[in-house]
Chain A
């Protein structure tokens, strides 16, 4: 449709217009930035919540303690039966000897404990099987199945830390954040659309004379419209740059401080845009949102006020 020279002239005019109406442009850019920052904060908070849920979920398991003297073969059979269940993701068997060895290793510095253990003739620690499930809601069912299953007489205790309440709370908070945040994002998107609409409308009025002359000397419709669209794209690009700088600074701060608080280890990546988990997705995502908002509103203004 256009040759490169025409595109260059359209883009140049767009830049010149952005600069000439710098205060109008700044206002439009700021509103766009606020919208994007709110969107990003929503995404970060959502990411942190999901990350926390995962961390808590990871720590949940069912521990099955066997009576002393249970044959190893029985326990192995029990473990392999469990592995066949579709809801079970992992089964770890720790023999009584291994448990004792691990216990001794942990308390290698504590002579009192080691001496007490030596006093005992039998190994006081039971053989255990740890069971992990894919879904948090499957744990009660698995625990119940073990308690009432065929290995009942060999089992001394079935223990599982029910973190479901905590996880459910996190889940609720996460939903609340998404709903509340989406409302905020929607409101600010509408504000951004209105402000950009008004800005472009004012620019059209400012340049009424020029537009009339362009039409008079035979400029095509897109040659006249193009600079206004470029101008609105500039709001998006500048707003995205500002937001990205703010968000990346915030994320790197969160990575170093909060992550260790949540996970206890400080390891792992904060999933900014859950489930992608990569901040490199942030900038294109923000830019896309910004472009959609600004192009939509500038097209509305052009359709309404720019008579070709």
Chain B
């Protein structure tokens, strides 16, 4: 599904990623681990087209992202769900409206939105909180709403950048369970994290990045840093 071919990325004179070769298959659950600043976020940004590789290629289903026109990037992003550590919900909108917002911007009709959003909220287990505002929910619930929003376009790929970074253990476990559930339903999931206990619990493929390089690849890995 996603292939990194000898990808190099610089920020000024600093080499953020060097010679990354990586393949992620359809339906996989892959954890990218490494310390802060190792290059995990940069790797994800290359997939969404937010950053462009200085050398090498990033391919999604054999499409070279560098060749996607800037005006077409929004359509690419609708195929990729993104979740972040800082959650990024709109504070003045309810849970329902936050998820609906993602569908509105891509031109879905009101009746379709009314039908789809409850289904997605049910999937993340928060249908009963649909009229609540973000400040009326726990951190874990907020992150699950953010995940619901990222699912609004029914993406083939969900990328989570430190989704549990601001959460306590219980909430983190809830979010992780949800990601695993989404993966089971067929969505490819990339989880970038430095939370070793989570990664050890999943027992799925782990890529370890250090200083912009892939230093370890394990099929059923553990966090080793």
Residues of B within 8 A of A104 (CB): none
Q: For residue B150, which residues in chain A have a CB less than 8 angstroms away from its CB?
A: 217
Q: Which of A9, A209, A210, A221 contacts B104 (CB 8 A)?
A: A9
A308–B109 CA distance with the chains assembled, in angstroms: 24
Question: CB-CB < 8 A to A216: which residues of B?
Answer: 77, 82, 88
A3 sits at the interface (CB 8 A)? yes
The 8 Å CB contact of B106, one of A212, A218, A221, is A218
Main secondary structure of the interface of A (DSSP, over half): helix
Which of these, A6, A217, A308, contacts B101 with CB under 8 Å? A217
The listed residue (B71, B74, B90, B149) touching A210 by CB distance below 8 A is B90
Neighbour of A221 across the interface among B74, B90, B101, CB < 8 A: B74
Cα A5 to Cα B149 with chains together (Å): 21
Q: Which residue of B lies closest to A2 (CB)?
A: B107
Q: Say whether, besides A5-B109, A209-B88, A214-B105, A221 and B77 are in contact (CB < 8 Å).
A: no
Q: Which residues of A contact B106 (CB under 8 A)?
A: 217-219
Describe B's contact surface by its main secondary structure. helix
Size category of the B interface is 20 to 34
A217 touches B107 (CB 8 A): no
- B76 contacts which chain A residues (CB < 8 A)? 218
Whether A220 touches B90, Cβ cut-off 8 Å, given contacts A5-B107, A213-B101, is: no
Known: A3-B107, A5-B109, A9-B104. A219 touches B90 (CB 8 A): no
Q: Tell me how far the C-beta of B44 lies from the nearest C-beta in chain A, rounded to whole angstroms.
A: 12
List A residues 229-277 near B (Cβ within 8 Å).
none
A244 to chain B, nearest CB (A): 35
Question: Given the complex, which residues of A lie within 8 Å of B104, measured CB to CB?
Answer: 9
Interchain pairs with CB closer than 8 A, number? 53
Chain B 98-119, CB-CB to A under 8 Å as 1, else 0, gives 0001101111010000000000
Q: Are A213 and B107 in contact (CB under 8 A)?
A: no
Q: Which of B125-162 contact A (CB under 8 A)?
A: 149-150, 152-153
**Among A209, A216, A217, residue most surrounded by chain B Cβ atoms (within 10 Å):** A217
B82 contacts which chain A residues (CB < 8 A)?
216
Whether B152 contacts A217 by the Cβ 8 Å rule is yes
* CB closest chain-B residue, reference A221: B71
Contact between chains at B77 and A217 (CB < 8 Å): yes
Instruction: Determine the chain A residues whose CB is within 8 A of the CB of B78 once the complex forms.
Output: 217-218
If A213-B101, A218-B74, A218-B153 touch, whether A6 touches B88 (CB-CB below 8 Å) is: no
Q: How far is the CA of A246 from the CA of B15 in the complex (A)?
A: 63
Tell me which residues from 189 to 235 in chain A have a Cβ below 8 Å from any Cβ of chain B: 209-210, 212-221, 223
Instruction: Give the complex CA separation of A170 and B150 in angstroms.
Output: 71
Let me know if B71 and A6 touch, CB within 8 A: no
Could you name 27 residue pairs across A and B whose Cβ atoms are closer than 8 Å?
A: A3-B107, A5-B107, A5-B109, A6-B107, A213-B89, A213-B101, A214-B105, A215-B77, A216-B77, A216-B82, A217-B77, A217-B78, A217-B101, A217-B149, A217-B152, A218-B74, A218-B75, A218-B76, A218-B77, A218-B102, A218-B153, A219-B106, A220-B71, A221-B70, A221-B74, A223-B74, A308-B70
* Residues of B in contact with A (beta carbons under 8 Å apart): 70-71, 74-78, 82, 88-90, 101-102, 104-107, 109, 149-150, 152-153
Give chain A's interface residues, CB within 8 Å of chain B: 2-3, 5-6, 9, 209-210, 212-221, 223, 308
For the complex of A and B, the 10 pairs showing the least CB-CB separation, nearest first, are A218-B78, A219-B105, A217-B102, A218-B77, A220-B74, A218-B74, A6-B107, A213-B88, A214-B105, A216-B82
